[in-house]
Copies of this chain bind each other. A is one copy, B any other.
């Protein structure tokens, strides 16, 4: 504790990201990165940013990138907001929509940053237990919540809700902002973007860190009604005018324009996921049905912590959450086909 800190800083319980190790020879399946680098066109676009562009401030509103994203998703440019990774976009959304409302509702098994933002911005929370199949029981959300947020597919379960489930939810809460965090949507989940035509209470969050192989670049975005986007802009412009650097704007733009590479790499991950699930089941693991680039798996022969630590001894990193209901499980990122084979081989010897 420091006498210099603001009220509440001492009590904060910051988010702890998965380990980022640069150790050689490590098979890193712990933070859901793509096994593939970004599009070569995106790499070239980043390298083409000149010194003269870099000495200048970047476009504060990322207009060209936002326009490209608007076209990509067939929405208006006023419906797109870009941020320094989807975490920044999510943080802004908490501040813009959930302060001074009723309790914010999210699943107990979900992105563990949600309670952290709630604490930072002093937002009451209402945690909703996922059911015994690890699905989100949307019907059980209390009528008086002040906001709703969940990942779709959910993380770390990988389980997707259908578009019609989300539509029913939006219809039931017309005056409540519903944030659907679609970080992993490209790996086989129905996007809610089409629902934007009918629902102004819907905000969809996307990231370039997973399916676009750009975790290192920090670009995320939101798509929603123009009044929700305007709320995000008001927070952003009251906090940091220029959050997206010139190279990130150029690389993200070129990535959006390389649809072919995007589809190829996403398909390869979806195939490797099938290989991973099948291999895990053959080794006696229980695996939740995943629509993401990771799977949640357990094998009662050992605890989740033991599996994690034994894999670590083999230079393989996977994620274990030391939390109720998740203790037995491992969250394993889907790597390339070769990486999946290496993991299965290591597991078969444990």
Query: Interface on A for B, CB 8 Å cutoff?
Result: 2-9, 12-18, 20, 22, 28, 31, 33-38, 40, 43, 46-47, 49-60, 84-85, 87-88, 91, 95-101, 113, 116-117, 119-120, 175, 177, 200-201, 209, 213-218, 227-228, 230-231, 233-235, 237-248, 251
Contact = CB atoms under 8 A, between A and B. Distances in A.
B28 A51 contact: no
B14 A234 contact: yes
A234 B36 contact: no
Contact of A59 (B20, B33, B234): B20
5 contacts: A2-B230, A8-B99, A20-B56, A37-B52, A218-B242
A54 B38 contact: yes
B245 A91 contact: no
A216 B231 contact: no
Contacts of A214: 54-55
Contacts of A14: 233-234, 237-238
Given A15-B241, A46-B46, A119-B238, 15 more contacts: A2-B230, A5-B97, A5-B231, A5-B234, A6-B100, A9-B234, A35-B55, A36-B55, A46-B247, A47-B47, A54-B217, A57-B209, A84-B240, A87-B242, A116-B238
A117 to B, nearest CB: 7
Contacts of A59: 20, 22
The count of identical subunits is 2
A37 B52 CA distance: 5
B33 A215 contact: no
A238 B55 contact: no
Contact of A100 (B7, B218, B238): B7
A54 B216 contact: yes
Contacts of A3: 175
A78 to B, nearest CB: 13
A2 B229 CA distance: 11
A39 to B, nearest CB: 9
Contact of A241 (B37, B87, B233, B243): B87
Nearest to A59: B20
Contacts of A38: 51, 54-55
Given A6-B101, A97-B6, A247-B217, A120 B238 contact: yes
Contacts of A246: 216-217
A165 to B, nearest CB: 21
Contacts of A117: 238-239
Given A96-B6, A230-B2, A57 B245 contact: no
B84 A55 contact: no
